[in-house]
Amino acid sequence: MDLKHIRNFSIIAHIDHGKSTLADRMLEITHTIETRKMREQVLDVMELERERGITIKMQPVRMEHVLDEQKYILNLIDTPGHVDFSYEVSRALKAVEGSILLIDSTQGVQAQTLTTLAMAQQGGKEGHKKIIPVLSKIDSPLARIPEIKEEVVKLLGCNPDEILLVSGRTGEGVEHLLQEIIKRIPAPAHDYTGDNNLRALVFDFKYSNHRGVIVFVRVLDGKVKKGESLIFSVSNEKFTALEVGTFSPEETAREYLSAGDIGYIVTGIKKPGIASVGDTITKLAHPLPALPGYMQPMPVVWASLFPENADDFSELKLALGKLRLSDSSFSYEEESSGSLGRGFRLGFLGMLHLEIITERLKREFDLSLIITTPSIIYEVVNNHDKREKIYSPYFFPDDGNIKMVFEPWVTAKIITPAKYLGNIMQILFDHEAEVGETENFGDNRSALSVKMPLRELMRNFFDELKSTSSGYGSISYTLAEMREANVTRLDILVADEAVPAFSKVVSKKRVEEEAENSVVKLEGLLPRQMFTLKIQGRALGRIISSRTLSGMKKDVTQHMYGGDITRKMKLREKQKKGKKKMKERGRVNIPQNVFLKMMRSGNN
Ligand SMILES: Nc1nc2c(ncn2[C@@H]2O[C@H](COP(=O)(O)OP(=O)(O)O)[C@@H](O)[C@H]2O)c(=O)[nH]1
Ligand SMILES: [Mg+2]
C-alpha cells in the first residue's frame, strides 16, 4: 500500500473513558471483525483483562476503510489507561503519527488525560504528532457536552469545532471519526527509500512456545519478507523472519510488511533477554543506524519472590524469563536471603502492576511462591558513612546502625470536584503531603499540585482518594527527588521468629498502628495450627503488638466422610511430614495465599 493511504494512530485516555469500546465500534464499521465474533472490548484478550474489565497491554489492529472511493489502511493501537501502564502508552505513541485523545463526557478531563496527553505531545517524529480531541459516551444522560468541551478547549487551546463527539455504545459519530482520522492524521513518512533499507522499531513483543519471540514492529523504512535474514541493531542478534504479518487483531500472515506498516515478525528466538522493546530490526546484509529507542521504565515498587520449595528456583527463573517476554516493563534480579534462600527481586511500575504480575505467575506457571511485602527503595547511610540502596525491608538495617535514611518523593496532580477538596486535604495531610497550587478547572473542579513521599502514596492513597471523592477524584504522579525520611523496620514474628517476607519499612510516627494492623490482619489470615502460637510486631527494639492464635487439636482427615482410606493415609503422612518440617525449620508453614493477601493493602 502506498504510504499516502496509511494512517497509524492510538487511542489514549484516562481509565474507563471508553477506549476499548470505541475500538469495538471501529472494528465493526470497518468489518475487521465479523459481527458474530464480536464481544465487548474485544481487544482486551488476556484472561485477566476480561475478568477485571481493564486493558493491561496495548493491542494493535489493522483496519481498512474507504473514503471517497479510496481504500485506506488504518492501524489502531488501543492502550491501557491506568497510571501503572503508562509505559505501554509511551511505546505505542512511538509507532504512530497521531492519537485520539478520548475524554468521557460524563466525567471530563482526568489526571491520566493530562499525563497521556503530555506523552503524546512530546513524542513523535519531528514533533508533528497529531491529536484529535474526542468526547465519548455522548449517549449517556449524564453527558455534559458543552461544559466538557470548554474544558478541552482550555486544555488544548483548540477550536471547539475540532472536538468530535462519539458514543462507543451506540456507534454515533464513529464513522465520522474514521473520516477525520484519515483527513487529520498525517500519512507516515520515511527517511530511506529502497526495499533493502529496512528499519523496523520493536514496540512490543510476545512469546509463543512454538514460534519463540514474536516482535511487534512499526516499519519505518524498507520492506521485510518471510525468510529474510535480519538483525537486531542493539542486541546484535541475527535471526530469520519465520513469518511476517499484521493484526486483525489475531496474527494474520502476509507476504511482506513495508514502510508505514504496523505488524509482527516471528523470530523463532527462544532465549529470553535478546529481543527488547526499542530495538531496531534491519537486514543482516544491509545494517542501518538504530532508531532512538525507549527509555527504561523506572520501577516504583519492589517485592521479592522465593520458591516455596528451593528446588523450584530454576523453574521460577525460567518463568520470569518467559513472563518478561510478554511484559517488558518489570525488572528482575537474583537475590538471596538467609532464611528464604535464593529468589528474585522484582521491580514494578505500581501496585496494580505488581498484582497483575504475581497473579500471572501463579496462573500461567503454577508455582508456589513466597512473596515479600512490597517496598519502595530507600537509601541508607550507615554509621560508617556508607550509602546503600535498600530494596527489601528485611535488609533494612537496625536503627542502631543508621545515620540517615533517604526516600523518593513524587510530584502528583489530583483532579477533583471542588466539594471534596476539604476531605482530600485531610487525607493529604495524613499522608504527609505538601500541597502546592490549586487551579480551578472548569465546571467546579479543581486541580491540585502536591508533593508527597512515595511511601505514603503507596500506603493505600489511591483507594482513599477514590472513597473520599465518591470515585470522582483522579491522580497521576511522577517520581521526584530523594528526601530525608524518618522510618524504621517493622518485623512480624510468628512463634517468636521474624518472618522476613512480612517485614516492612514504616514511618516511625505510625509504627504502632502499622504493627497492630499487620498483626491483626495476619491473625485473621493464618490458619489455626496444632499448637498455640504468638503473632507479634517488633520495632525499635521491642514488641509493640501481640496476639495469640489458639491451637486446635484435630485430625486432618476429620472432614472426610468415610471414603478412600489411602487418601486418608496420605493426608496423615503429609501432616506428619508437615510437623517434621515445622520442627526442622522451627517455624510455622504459611500458605501462599497468606503472603498474597498480606501483600495487598487493605483488608481483603
Ligand atoms: N453509556 C456509555 N458507556 C460507555 C461507552 N463506552 C464505554 N462505556 C462504558 O464505560 C466503561 C469503560 O469502557 P472501556 O471501553 O473498557 O474503557 P477503557 O478503559 O477506556 O478502555 C464500560 O463499562 C463501558 O461499558 C459509551 O459510549 N456510552
Ligand atoms: Mg480499555
Q: How many CB atoms lie within 10 A of CB 506?
A: 23
Those residues with Cβ within 8 angstroms of residue 427's Cβ, 6 or more apart along the chain or in another chain? 461, 464, 465, 468
**How far is the centre of ligand 2, averaged over its atoms, from the C-alpha of 378 (Å)?**
34
**How far is the centre of ligand 1, averaged over its atoms, from the C-alpha of 166 (Å)?**
11
Residue 176 pLDDT > 70: yes
Task: Name the nearest CA neighbour of 112 among 144, 133, 89.
Answer: 89
CB of 168 shorter than 6 A to ligand 1: yes
**How far is the centre of ligand 1, averaged over its atoms, from the C-alpha of 16 (Å)?**
6
Cβ(492)–Cβ(522) below 8 Å: yes
Residue 341: per-residue pLDDT:
86
Q: Give 567-579 pLDDT, tens digit per residue.
A: 656 666 666 555 4
Question: What average pLDDT does this structure show over 67-71?
Answer: 94
* Ligand closest to the CA atom of residue 44: 2
Q: How many CB atoms lie within 10 A of CB 586?
A: 9
Q: Is 149 helix (H, G, I), strand (E, B) or coil?
A: helix
Q: Give 223-276 pLDDT, tens digit per residue.
A: 999 999 999 999 999 999 999 999 999 999 999 999 999 999 999 998 878 888
Q: What ligand 1 atom has the least distance to the C-alpha of 17?
A: 20
Residue 42 banded pLDDT, cuts 50, 70, 90? confident
Closest residue by CA, ligand 1 atom 26: 137
Which set of grid coordinates corresponds to residue 119? 506523552
Question: What average pLDDT does this structure show over 79-100?
Answer: 91
Residue 551: per-residue pLDDT:
75
| pLDDT-wise least confident of 118-132, 296-310, 338-352 | 118-132
Residue 559 banded pLDDT, cuts 50, 70, 90? low
* Ligand closest to the CA atom of residue 53: 1
* Ligand closest to the CA atom of residue 105: 1
**How far is the centre of ligand 2, averaged over its atoms, from the C-alpha of 352 (Å)?**
15
**How far is the centre of ligand 1, averaged over its atoms, from the C-alpha of 496 (Å)?**
51
Q: Give 184-230 pLDDT, tens digit per residue.
A: 999 998 888 888 899 999 999 998 889 999 999 999 999 999 999 99
Within a 13 Å sphere around the CA of 135, how many CA atoms are in the beta-carbon half?
26
* Ligand closest to the CA atom of residue 24: 1
Question: Which amino acid, one-letter code, is at 371?
Answer: I
Residue 263: per-residue pLDDT:
97
Q: Hey, which of 84-93, 163-172, 393-402 has the most confident mean pLDDT?
A: 163-172
**How far is the centre of ligand 1, averaged over its atoms, from the C-alpha of 21 (Å)?**
6
Q: How far is CA 196 from CA 193, 221, 288, 304, in A?
A: 8, 9, 10, 46
Residue 130: per-residue pLDDT:
92
Question: Which amino acid, one-letter code, is at 346?
Answer: L
Tell which one of 11, 20, 21 to mutate to probe ligand 1, the residue whose CB is within 8 A of the most ligand atoms. 21
Question: Which amino acid, one-letter code, is at 604?
Answer: N
Closest residue by CA, ligand 1 atom 23: 16
CB of 25 shorter than 6 A to ligand 1: no
Residue 183 pLDDT > 50: yes
Task: Name the nearest CA neighbour of 85 among 51, 55, 60.
Answer: 55
Q: What ligand 1 atom has the least distance to the C-alpha of 15?
A: 19
Residue 558: per-residue pLDDT:
53
**How far is the centre of ligand 1, averaged over its atoms, from the C-alpha of 351 (Å)?**
23
Question: What average pLDDT does this structure show over 15-41?
Answer: 91
Q: Give 362-405 pLDDT, tens digit per residue.
A: 888 888 888 888 999 999 999 999 999 999 999 999 988 999 99
CB of 16 shorter than 6 A to ligand 1: yes
